[in-house]
Amino acid sequence: LSWPTADDATVAAWVYMDDQVGTRRIFDKDGNEIVSVGAEIGFQITGGIGPPRTAISVGTWYLIVGWFDYVDGTNNKVEYQINAGAVRSVTTASEPTDGTDSLGIGAELSPAPASGFWNGRIDNAFFIRRVLTGRERGLIYNEGFGVDYETLQRIIGGGIQ
């Protein structure tokens, strides 16, 4: 998997946290990651650039969708949304890094040894090379019930990786 630079991308997953200890990765590719620190979760690109994280509770399923919106190289957006809540956003001139690190779901795999193991459950994680619309994110959330892979493909079309 390569993370596009100077282009749009979205990553999403349903997550269920079992504890609020340490720094844990849900999705990580070259520091572009959905990450939890203690009781807070968020999305950031390489260098830790992202909006402030949001507190979540142990024992509850959440849909987190994070995306990088390449605007013009100076007004790019790093954004995320939890469930159908408010979109958290930051504007930056930075872009994601696309290096040789392996994709980690539930851990940071590079540099070895693996670390930041997620303590909980992860379901229906995906990556797509575009920004999902608010309507698409709402359909995926489906009032908290989520959707299966086939329905997800119908909602956002092909291109899920």
In this prediction, residue 142 has a pLDDT band, given cuts at 50, 70 and 90, of confident
What is the spatial distance between Cα 151 and Cα 161, in angstroms, rounded to a whole number? 15
- What is the per-residue pLDDT across 72-106, written as a single tens digit (0 to 9) for each? 888 999 999 999 999 999 999 999 998 888 899 99
Q: Supply the pTM of this predicted model.
A: 0.91
- For tokens 């040789």, name the residue: 100
User: At a CB cut-off of 8 Å and minimum separation 6, what does 111 contact?
Assistant: none
What is the spatial distance between Cα 69 and Cα 54, in angstroms, rounded to a whole number? 20
In this prediction, residue 161 has a pLDDT band, given cuts at 50, 70 and 90, of low
Q: What is the mean pLDDT of residues 31-52?
A: 94
Q: What is the pLDDT of residue 73?
A: 83
